[in-house]
Amino acid sequence: MIRIVQGLLLLCIGAVALAACHSGGGSSLGDFLHYVSALDSITDAVSKATGLPEDHILVTGSRNDLHISIHDIGFMQADAAAIEKVAKTVVAAAEPALASHAEFSSIRIVHVGVYHPSELGQPLREWHVQDVVTFHRGSDLRFVIDVP
């Protein structure tokens, strides 16, 4: 299901990129493909760091924000400390990819959404956000948890 959503999202982004190319907006198909590759590198890094399959991870972004959603039944019993720990692992894994791709230089906020079923046996469409942990880029260019 996540792969379908990713595919549709990439299709929409591709359509916008191609429209911008056609209208002289300065973007190119090569830029779009490079951006998609950069998002994939974040997905790969998060998968390796967390042990989650890549189809349990969705990375989306805008000019200033990056959203990393992860889902797994193992988060069903997780408390706030466990959610924060996995969110820190996700951001630590994403940081090198963010630093190595110029298209992410303007990212100031990373949101990590942790999804799980509300009860065993629930279909994917009934999963809900357990928690969202927000990180801001600090003066040292590292991402730190937003403290309320």
**Overall number of domains in the chain:** 1
In a domain, 45, yes or no: yes
What whole-number distance in Å separates Cα of residue 33 and Cα of residue 17? 10
For the segment 9-14, the average pLDDT, to the nearest whole number, is 52
* CATH number of the domain that residue 113 is part of: 3.30.70
**Would you say residue 17 lies in a domain?**
no
DSSP bridge pairs for 143: 137
135 in a domain, yes or no?
yes
DSSP letters of 31-84?
HHHHHHHHHHHHHHHHHHHH---GGGEEEEE-SSEEEEEEE-GGGGG--HHHHH
| 3 in any annotated domain | no
- pLDDT tens by residue, 66-122: 999 998 878 877 888 999 999 999 999 999 988 888 888 889 999 999 987 766 666
CA atoms within 13 A on the CB side of 95: 16
Task: Find the domain containing 108 and state its range.
Answer: 34-145
Split at pLDDT 50, 70, 90, the class of 29 is: low
44 belongs to a structural domain: yes
DSSP letter for 124, please: G
Flag whether 23 is in a domain. Answer: no
Residue 138 included in any domain: yes
Taking the whole predicted model, whether its pTM rises above 0.85 is answered as: no
Tell me if 6 is assigned to some domain: no
